[in-house]
Amino acid sequence: MSIAKKEYKRITTKSLVDMKANGEKIAMLTAYDFSMAKIVDGAGIDVILVGDSASNVMAGHETTLPITLDQMIYHATSVVRAINRSLVVVDLPFGSYQSDPKEALRSAIRIMKESGAHAVKLEGGKEVKDSIKRILHAGIPVMGHLGLTPQSIYKFGTYTVRAREEHEAEKLKSDAKMLEKMGCFAVVLEKVPAELAREVAESISIPVIGIGAGNGVDGQVLVIHDMLGMTHEFNPRFLRRYADLHAEMTKAFQNYRDDVKNQDFPSEEEQY
């Protein structure tokens, strides 16, 4: 049984706004390479985010700060080659859009031109308004990202839930309104109280995609390595694991090692 309300041959930014209007939830996952993106696209995931979480899960950095624009373009290019249906959104990495709007536009243009992706995502509200404006004016779709914004981790000092305090919740609500008004096509809300996220989703017409933001929003996103159970030491409350690939892969590698050591592999049938 299909749970999609309408079949979309290709997901566009407009399809996502339609999904929200029709009450259909949006499914988004990260991917950073060709093989994974091919599976994600084939499984009917609406949006693939080439997230700067690649800095953590692909490169092993502690934060998302070190990944470069060239590295993001490399990941995005590999993902775009794999897709038939999903919308591909690429994170503008730390340092590629904060200092001035012209640089932000140059970075967004490089992503769109060199990778063939469909949209960019960037973190922040009013602070990066001019950069967002410039990118949108060039015809590049922008997804916002509010709440816990990992590129500002050294300002926050911790990965705990954001916007519990009234003043921060008010700022988040006004930033979300601003992003809608400016013409962003969607906004990610990360690690904020579920009630606040619901209120934001109900107050704007563009989709709100949550991660650790409860079920009152218009869609969900997870980091693919986390939901597949590859990062078993990472256990936030919002994470649901749909597989235990850490265990599965460890078993496979151990079996392979044993077969090689015992000279069980390759067998007669597996040689020429």
Enumerate binding residues for ligand KIV (CB under 6 A).
30, 49, 51-53, 91, 188, 190, 211, 221, 223
In SS3 terms, the chain reads as: CCCCCCCCCCCCHHHHHHHHHHCCCEEEEECCCHHHHHHHHHCCCCEEEECCCHHHHCCCCCCCCCCCHHHHHHHHHHHHCCCCCCEEEEECCCCCCCCCHHHHHHHHHHHHHHHCCCEEECCCCHHHHHHHHHHHHCCCCEEEEEECCHHHHHHHCCCCCCCCCHHHHHHHHHHHHHHHHHCCCEEEEECCCHHHHHHHHHHCCCCEEEECCCCCCCEEEECHHHHCCCCCCCCCCCCCCCCCHHHHHHHHHHHHHHHHHCCCCCCHHHCC
What's the rounded Cα separation, in Å, for the pair 162 and 123?
Answer: 14
Nearer to ligand KIV, 86 or 269 (CB): 86
Nearer to ligand KIV, 46 or 52 (CB): 52
Please give the span between the terminal C-alpha atoms of the chain, in angstroms, as a whole number: 45
Nearer to ligand KIV, 1 or 226 (CB): 226
Given the residues 190, 195, 199, 270, the one annotated as active site: 190
Least distance in Å: CB of 48 to ligand KIV? 11
Least distance in Å: CB of 91 to ligand KIV? 5
CB 29 within 8 A of CB 82: no
CB 188 within 8 A of CB 145: yes
Least distance in Å: CB of 188 to ligand KIV? 5
CB 90 within 8 A of CB 50: yes
Least distance in Å: CB of 253 to ligand KIV? 26
Nearer to ligand KIV, 204 or 252 (CB): 204
Q: Is 7 a catalytic residue?
A: no
Nearer to ligand KIV, 8 or 32 (CB): 32
CB 224 within 8 A of CB 241: no
Least distance in Å: CB of 264 to ligand KIV? 40
Nearer to ligand KIV, 27 or 264 (CB): 27
Least distance in Å: CB of 171 to ligand KIV? 19
What amino acid positions are annotated as catalytic residues? Answer: 190
